[in-house]
Amino acid sequence: MNIICNVNGREIAVETRPDKKLSALLRDDLNLKGLRKGCGSGRCGSCLILLDDQLVASCLIPAFAARHKNIVTIEGFSQTKEFTDIVTAFKEAGVHLCSYCAPARVLSTAYMLRKHIMPTEEQINDIISSVQCRCSSFSHLKKGIVQASIHFSRRKDNG
């Protein structure tokens, strides 16, 4: 079956099968390797993407469900000012991420800050938990996200 969708700002037509997951379509067919192959069952968060502005685990979504939808992966998101805000904030807060989790961490942070520019502690904890990682410090991540919210707010204030 052929589907049309918008990937990182470009409308594309792509062939898929009913049993293909969106993560496989993006990684294997469209060569968007920023999203990672992880648990394959919605638990680890390494395959997170934005689908019509919702944060979703792409390993749980059939590729055909992306028909006529807007997909943003880290490759597209990295062209935005929000990406620069988050990466800068993480650096300032001393957050060190490996290349395995960084794409999902950045996208999930952006998703939350778009909804809650001044997130509560609970919202921050929830978004941190959406991406599994045992190697970076929780408190650094928290600091990084708070710092990112400051960058988001400043940019909003400056128009």
The contact set with ligand FES (CB under 6 A) reads 38-40, 42-47, 57, 59, 97-98, 100-101, 133, 135-136
Q: Which is nearer to ligand FES, 88 or 153 (CB)?
A: 88
Query: Is the distance from CB of 151 to CB of 88 less than 8 angstroms?
Result: yes
Q: Which is nearer to ligand FES, 119 or 144 (CB)?
A: 144
Q: Which is nearer to ligand FES, 129 or 154 (CB)?
A: 129
- Strands of the sheet containing 48-51, edge to edge, are 10-15, 2-7, 70-72, 48-51, 54-57
State in angstroms the smallest separation of the CB of 156 from ligand FES: 29
State in angstroms the smallest separation of the CB of 87 from ligand FES: 14
Q: Which is nearer to ligand FES, 61 or 153 (CB)?
A: 61
